[in-house]
């Protein structure tokens, strides 16, 4: 990251420790004012790249304040550097991607690891990620090899993983593969039963991991499926009344993903409040996950419905970034702020509703893909389709923001 900053001379543009708490569009000036702890910042355009998975979600259990050990969220990087208790008894709460990735490492050094599972995940084998010396040489020296490799991975994601979200026959090969891995890696029938998800593959995020099940088979690892009742000073007590010791609790419980713009107030044209607009719509929506009517010169990377569970998310963001650059150029050419038109938004919404209905998510299990019954996060198709949908010129979908009376007056005098 430091290298990128150096290579592209970005330092002079960076404001660190400047979490944005509010942004307001000034209709007269046609500019945004962002409120940060370092004071207000003016901007002609705002691109929010604030992610979907960065605000930790930690469940509230009775007794949390009485627990005498260390407890931290899996995303708390500073805590991982502290060795205290990591060779003792560790409780991992959750069995999603983060838990699957950390368990093999923790189990190697801890006295015991207890994994608390609320619902099992479907786990597909991860293709070998090690590159031999020849592959490494080719990727480093052959022009285009790296790009070709990434393109091949993306093709496989679109062709093999994306169809899973539509359920039915298209999901069966993946389900067979996941069941095969479970049978092969977990000989213990009772443990296998606990690890078999009670919902269709694809309804929740699929794990791609070949080391999670073997780690669960280690003698110092226990999988607990009884729900947690409360924390005690020494550990965790489950609803069956059993208490298990813990020196450290790692909350691998995910993120507040469905709350877009949590803790940020965004006020667009005519005083439109982004959260209120989304409440009125019944949930967050943005034109291809990147723009909302009434919010001129404002864009998002990874907005609603633009997270792909089947492919590379950085690729999705590349597509959005390229489109946003075209929007910025269009606004510059027009010499005025632009916003996505209501008509374009309506057309997009109709497409989204149809595409989403063809997936397993609306009727599927509860997950961070949705809030109540409304699907909020995932992209319901392939990355290829995302690219094609965003290949058009924004001139067809974006209009010049209506000028405020004051701005018209200023213009008419100049």
Which region, judged by CB under 6 A, interacts with ligand FAD, from 46-54, 115-123, 160-168, 218-226? Answer: 46-54
- Provide the minimum distance between the beta carbon of 268 and ligand FAD in the complex, in angstroms, as a whole number: 16
Q: Which is nearer to ligand FAD, 297 or 306 (CB)?
A: 306
192 CB burial (10 A radius; 0-12, 13-18, 19+): middle
**Count, residues in the chain:** 414
Q: Which is nearer to ligand FAD, 67 or 368 (CB)?
A: 368
Determine the residue with CB nearest ligand FAD. 51
Task: Rule CB under 6 A: say whether 123 interacts with ligand FAD.
Answer: no
Site size for ligand FAD, by CB under 6 A? 16
- Provide the minimum distance between the beta carbon of 224 and ligand FAD in the complex, in angstroms, as a whole number: 22
Q: Which is nearer to ligand FAD, 71 or 100 (CB)?
A: 100
Task: Rule CB under 6 A: say whether 24 interacts with ligand FAD.
Answer: no
- Provide the minimum distance between the beta carbon of 346 and ligand FAD in the complex, in angstroms, as a whole number: 27
217 CB burial (10 A radius; 0-12, 13-18, 19+): middle
Task: Rule CB under 6 A: say whether 49 interacts with ligand FAD.
Answer: yes
Q: Are 89 and 247 in contact (CB under 8 A)?
A: yes
Among 95, 98, 306, 359, binds ligand FAD (CB under 6 A): 98
Per-residue x/- mask for ligand FAD, residues 256 to 295, rule CB under 6 A? --------x-------------------------------
Among 95, 97, 117, 258, binds ligand FAD (CB under 6 A): 97
Which region, judged by CB under 6 A, interacts with ligand FAD, from 38-46, 117-125, 160-168, 306-314? Answer: 306-314
Task: Rule CB under 6 A: say whether 301 interacts with ligand FAD.
Answer: yes
Task: Rule CB under 6 A: say whether 161 interacts with ligand FAD.
Answer: no
Among 19, 44, 59, 173, binds ligand FAD (CB under 6 A): 19
Q: Which is nearer to ligand FAD, 262 or 271 (CB)?
A: 262
- Provide the minimum distance between the beta carbon of 81 and ligand FAD in the complex, in angstroms, as a whole number: 17
Residue listed under structure tokens 């389900």: 175
- Provide the minimum distance between the beta carbon of 255 and ligand FAD in the complex, in angstroms, as a whole number: 6
Task: Rule CB under 6 A: say whether 33 interacts with ligand FAD.
Answer: no
Task: Rule CB under 6 A: say whether 50 interacts with ligand FAD.
Answer: yes
Per-residue x/- mask for ligand FAD, residues 209 to 248, rule CB under 6 A? ----------------------------------------
- Provide the minimum distance between the beta carbon of 54 and ligand FAD in the complex, in angstroms, as a whole number: 4
Task: Rule CB under 6 A: say whether 54 interacts with ligand FAD.
Answer: yes
Q: Scan residues 310-339 and list those touching ligand FAD (CB under 6 A).
A: 312-314, 317
Q: Which is nearer to ligand FAD, 57 or 192 (CB)?
A: 57
- Name residues whose C-beta falls within 8 Å of residue 75's C-beta, 6 or more positions apart in sequence: 54, 56, 98, 255
Q: Compute the distance between CA of residue 84 and CA of residue 151 in angstroms, rounded to an integer.
A: 43
Q: Are 93 and 201 in contact (CB under 8 A)?
A: no
Among 23, 47, 53, 162, binds ligand FAD (CB under 6 A): 53
Task: Rule CB under 6 A: say whether 178 interacts with ligand FAD.
Answer: no
Q: Compute the distance between CA of residue 103 and CA of residue 95 in angstroms, rounded to an integer.
A: 9
Task: Rule CB under 6 A: say whether 182 interacts with ligand FAD.
Answer: no
Which region, judged by CB under 6 A, interacts with ligand FAD, from 275-283, 308-316, 349-357, 366-374? Answer: 308-316
- Name residues whose C-beta falls within 8 Å of residue 130's C-beta, 6 or more positions apart in sequence: none
User: Where does this chain bind ligand FAD (CB under 6 A)?
Assistant: 19-20, 49-51, 53-54, 97-98, 264, 301-302, 312-314, 317
């Amino acid at each position: 990251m430091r290298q990128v900053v150096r290579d592209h001379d970005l330092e002079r543009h960076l404001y660190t420790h400047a979490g944005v708490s509010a942004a307001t569009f000034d209709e007269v000036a046609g500019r945004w004012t962002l409120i940060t702890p370092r004071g207000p910042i003016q901007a002609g355009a705002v691109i929010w790249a604030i992610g979907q998975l960065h605000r930790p979600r930690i469940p509230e259990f009775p007794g949390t304040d009485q627990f005498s050990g260390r407890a931290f969220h899996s995303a708390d990087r500073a805590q991982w550097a502290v060795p205290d208790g990591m060779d003792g008894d560790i409780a991992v709460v959750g069995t999603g991607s983060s838990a699957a990735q950390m368990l093999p490492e923790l189990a190697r050094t801890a006295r015991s690891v207890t994994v608390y599972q609320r619902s099992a995940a479907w786990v597909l084998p991860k293709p070998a990620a090690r590159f031999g010396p020849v592959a490494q040489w080719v990727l480093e020296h052959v022009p285009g090899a790296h790009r070709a490799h990434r393109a091949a991975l993306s093709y496989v994601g679109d062709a093999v993983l994306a169809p899973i979200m539509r359920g039915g026959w298209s999901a069966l090969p993946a389900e067979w593969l996941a069941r095969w891995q479970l049978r092969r890696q977990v000989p213990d029938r009772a443990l296998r039963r606990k690890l078999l998800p009670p919902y269709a593959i694809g309804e929740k995020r699929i794990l791609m991991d070949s080391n999670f099940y073997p780690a669960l088979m280690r003698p110092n690892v226990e999988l607990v499926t009884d729900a947690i009742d409360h924390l005690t000073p020494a550990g965790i007590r489950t609803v069956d009344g059993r208490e298990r010791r813990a020196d450290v609790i790692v909350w691998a419980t995910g993120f507040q993903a469905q709350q877009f713009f949590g803790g940020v107030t965004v006020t667009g044209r005519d005083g439109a409040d982004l959260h209120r607009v989304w409440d009125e719509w019944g949930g967050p929506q943005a034109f291809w996950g990147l723009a909302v009517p009434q919010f001129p010169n404002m864009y998002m990377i990874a907005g609603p419905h633009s997270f792909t569970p089947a492919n590379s998310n950085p690729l999705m963001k590349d597509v959005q970034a390229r489109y946003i650059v075209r929007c910025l150029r269009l606004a510059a050419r027009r010499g005025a702020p632009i916003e996505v038109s209501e008509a374009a938004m309506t057309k997009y919404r109709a497409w989204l509703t149809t595409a989403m209905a063809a997936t397993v998510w609306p009727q599927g299990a509860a997950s961070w893909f949705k809030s109540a019954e409304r699907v909020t996060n995932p992209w319901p198709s392939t990355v290829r389709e995302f690219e094609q949908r965003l290949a058009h010129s924004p001139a067809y979908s974006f209009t010049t923001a209506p000028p405020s009376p004051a701005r018209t007056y200023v213009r008419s005098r100049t």
